[in-house]
Amino acid sequence: MIHEILPVGMLQCNCSVFCDEQTREAMVVDPGDEIDSVLQVLAKHKCKVTAIVITHAHIDHIGGAQKLKQATGAPVYMNANDIELQKMMAVQAGWLGMRTPEAVEIDVEADDGDRLTVGATEVTVLHTPGHTQGSISLWMPSEGKLVAGDTLFRDSIGRTDLPGGDGRQILRSIHDKLMPLPDETVVIPGHGGNTTIGREREFNFFLQRL
């Protein structure tokens, strides 16, 4: 499985491009901005997007989704609990002093336990609310990878002071859905460098009392 991570936009959201070497089917996670660069990566690997997945409806993660959808025709997956937040895009743009991006229509509601496939690789949706009510993480068992959105970071966890945030809930989500994963699981957070479940279990200050 080809995997490229592009930090995009003002807040450097990690946009992941996964592409199956055989079928050339691709999944793009969190196309927040810089869609031209995302399309260049796809073209370089001769990949065709079959799924656009939004881990949560913050502007830095969803801002470029409509542009990517228009360019590729791929369906957009998001958890329905973030639709309220998605409707606040102009407010979110105001927080950052940026232009409101074109709204995107969600094609598929991504619920806990849902599975999608990228070529031969299975991706399981884990509903991990707390950073936002509709936050999801993506678990790819055969790759040993977890795309964590803004739920879990290297040495930190997602902020919970924005609308829809809940500090107790994010800890419960991490404890119930992420900590059961194998220690060697590579975590790709929504911002910053990769980590592993084992490393965060041992060293992440926010998880010490779980």
Residue ranges binding Zn ion (CB under 5 A): 58, 150
The least CB distance from residue 87 to Zn ion, in Å, is 16
End-to-end Cα separation, the chain, in angstroms: 33
Six-digit token pair at 198? 């084992």
Backbone angles phi, psi at 19, to 5 degrees: -140, 130
The least CB distance from residue 30 to Zn ion, in Å, is 9
* CB closest to Zn ion, residue no: 58
Name the residue nearer to Zn ion (CB basis): 58 or 177.
Answer: 58
The least CB distance from residue 52 to Zn ion, in Å, is 17
SS3 25: strand
Name the residue nearer to Zn ion (CB basis): 35 or 57.
Answer: 57
The least CB distance from residue 84 to Zn ion, in Å, is 14
How far apart are the C-alpha atoms of 64 and 51, rounded to whole Å?
Answer: 14
Name the residue nearer to Zn ion (CB basis): 56 or 145.
Answer: 56
Residue recorded with tokens 């795309």: 147
Name the residue nearer to Zn ion (CB basis): 73 or 163.
Answer: 163
How far apart are the C-alpha atoms of 77 and 92, rounded to whole Å?
Answer: 20
